[in-house]
Chain A
């Protein structure tokens, strides 16, 4: 299929976070700072932003299910429409920011950028940024799945309102965040104050930059308080991967566990291939491609990462081992 000829794809940053975490403050900061760049902002509550900017677009989070029988394949149709509409403007922008409501699951937003060919031709998902309220996060975890899932999806986390908690409390919150998602870049902030290059143009979904997203911290033993809690898991292997077996196994994993797997990524040393095979996905949707070549003498280590709910580490580990030569 011929995709329309377009100039460079516009990066899209998804901004998520629980009610009152500081998303609006962050957006106001981005819109009012003198950075010489132009951002279109897609918000849910028109008028909440103090900045009068004609590049602020109001959206209703209109989610629909794809007719493909996959229960977690939900997509934001309003985003498809708005992005196409924005592309009709003469004035182009350096980026698009999509704010989700405090109780939204970031899945449908991210999946929109995996499914719609026209959106893919014009934009690229850059990163999911989650703002966390240091004072209320632990309490929000008790109120439902949203706060936890927003952290699970994140590429970048702003641990905000750090001035409202003691150092001990802050440590506790940070540890909890790390137990859910040790891979996201974490920035401690007050009043959402952060350098814009810490959150924009991160290339978190760029298959060529997957290597940059290594955990900030060494993984420590996760304390499993609840059965259904969200955790991360990484598996490594030094023997080459059989591509057919891997595809079959991964397909089955996503088919069964897709709704529970928020993010997954991996670098594979395929048997006999000179280049890395890299992939990343959201729920059941996945992008994959050949990445950088292996250097001479470099250890060809494959690495898989999952962030999800009820991850059965032993089972996944065993399944992956069966895909090795």
Chain B
């Protein structure tokens, strides 16, 4: 089966989906490594699981695992479940059977961001000005950084960890060989960051509604302006050719093929939404991309045909989480109101 946006039936029917009321704002969502379970981080401290299979029974509501709100969630790269971070300062490992184990506890700090590296089974989390790196039952700390860590991400091979903070990005070597950290400087506050899947570029969204991109090898940098709001969501296409960005009413992709994006406008495509995109998520393998809007609308875009279709109608509640299942056909999304949604794109 293929995703074909030119197929006329796509233009008419919304895909099959299941929506469950989560009762609290969604901070993010993710699929488990095997793709069988979608998990949603909630503002009441719970992480709610829904089966990826729309015909399977929905388990009862989940008890809070964090005191306060869950702020970060990712698939556990070293297990079948998930890892979560909360404003109670705890980094937790959540098994699919509901059992919980504590990876780290930093009382008084918020665990706001989590990055994972699948091949090495490593989890990184921000805790105030420090970055925590957990692997094989051991937790190491990197920092302190100039300010609270605003986002983090692994290099392609998992040997380095990039941390965004005021004034730029610091890249730590976290593997066997310990090298001094590298600094990529740009003044101001950086609010989101993603390392390209080919390892060549690090992109950030800034407080000043720009994006900033460094070439890792040369430490040369570029700045892209013209957004009406902060770019809080960045997503690289699987082949590292495109950097998708939020904060526009249509899909906006910067080309990193060939000479890169310098001096060229971004490619913009798809149907113009009534609001701005809040979350973008590139497809895990193919040329598709998901965009969730501050109106609640969700579109599926195809950069090859430059088309998009609406897969969820605007309902007024901003999309706050959007994730592809590893199979590339299912997706999970959550919004500010607390709707937990699993969609199956297969017809």
Cβ 8 A contact of A5, one of B88, B208, B317: B317
B275: Cβ under 8 A from any A Cβ = yes
A78: Cβ under 8 A from any B Cβ = yes
Tell me how many residues of A have a C-beta within 8 Å of chain B: 30
Whether the pair B147, A62 counts as a contact (CB closer than 8 A) is yes
**A66 in contact with B336 given A4-B318, A5-B318, A60-B129 (CB within 8 Å):** no
With both chains docked as a complex, state the minimum distance between the C-beta of A44 and any C-beta of chain B, in angstroms.
Answer: 12
Whether the pair B42, A118 counts as a contact (CB closer than 8 A) is no
Whether the pair A1, B188 counts as a contact (CB closer than 8 A) is no
Cβ 8 A contact of B25, one of A57, A66, A78, A89: A89
A213: Cβ under 8 A from any B Cβ = no
B308: Cβ under 8 A from any A Cβ = no
In B311-325, the 8 Å CB interface with A consists of 316-318
Whether the pair A58, B189 counts as a contact (CB closer than 8 A) is no
With both chains docked as a complex, state the minimum distance between the C-beta of A129 and any C-beta of chain B, in angstroms.
Answer: 25
State in angstroms the CA–CA spacing of A3 and B336 once bound together.
Answer: 13
Q: Which residues of B contact A87 (CB under 8 A)?
A: 25
Measured CB to CB, the nearest residue on chain A to B24 is: A90
Q: Which residues of B contact A66 (CB under 8 A)?
A: 188, 207-208
Q: Which residues of B contact A67 (CB under 8 A)?
A: 187-188, 206, 208
In A182-214, the 8 Å CB interface with B consists of none
Tell me how many residues of B have a C-beta within 8 Å of chain A: 44
Whether the pair A2, B294 counts as a contact (CB closer than 8 A) is yes
With both chains docked as a complex, state the minimum distance between the C-beta of A9 and any C-beta of chain B, in angstroms.
Answer: 15
Cβ 8 A contact of B108, one of A1, A2, A58, A77: A58
Interface string of A96-109 (1 = CB under 8 A from B): 00000000000000
Measured CB to CB, the nearest residue on chain A to B317 is: A5
B68: Cβ under 8 A from any A Cβ = yes
State in angstroms the CA–CA spacing of A118 and B294 once bound together.
Answer: 12
Measured CB to CB, the nearest residue on chain A to B67 is: A54
Cβ 8 A contact of B69, one of A68, A78, A90: A90
State in angstroms the CA–CA spacing of A1 and B187 once bound together.
Answer: 25
Q: Which residues of A contact B294 (CB under 8 A)?
A: 2-5
With both chains docked as a complex, state the minimum distance between the C-beta of A117 and any C-beta of chain B, in angstroms.
Answer: 6
Cβ 8 A contact of B109, one of A4, A58, A88, A91: A58
Tell me the B residues contacting A by CB distance below 8 Å: 23-25, 27, 42-44, 67-69, 71, 87-88, 108-110, 112, 128-129, 147-148, 150, 166-167, 187-189, 206-208, 228-230, 274-276, 278, 294-295, 316-318, 336, 338
- Chosen A-B contacts, 11 in total, with CB atoms closer than 8 Å, are A5-B317, A60-B129, A67-B208, A75-B189, A77-B148, A80-B189, A85-B69, A89-B69, A90-B24, A90-B338, A118-B230
Tell me the A residues contacting B by CB distance below 8 Å: 1-5, 46, 54, 57-58, 60, 62, 64-68, 75, 77-78, 80-81, 85, 87-91, 116-118
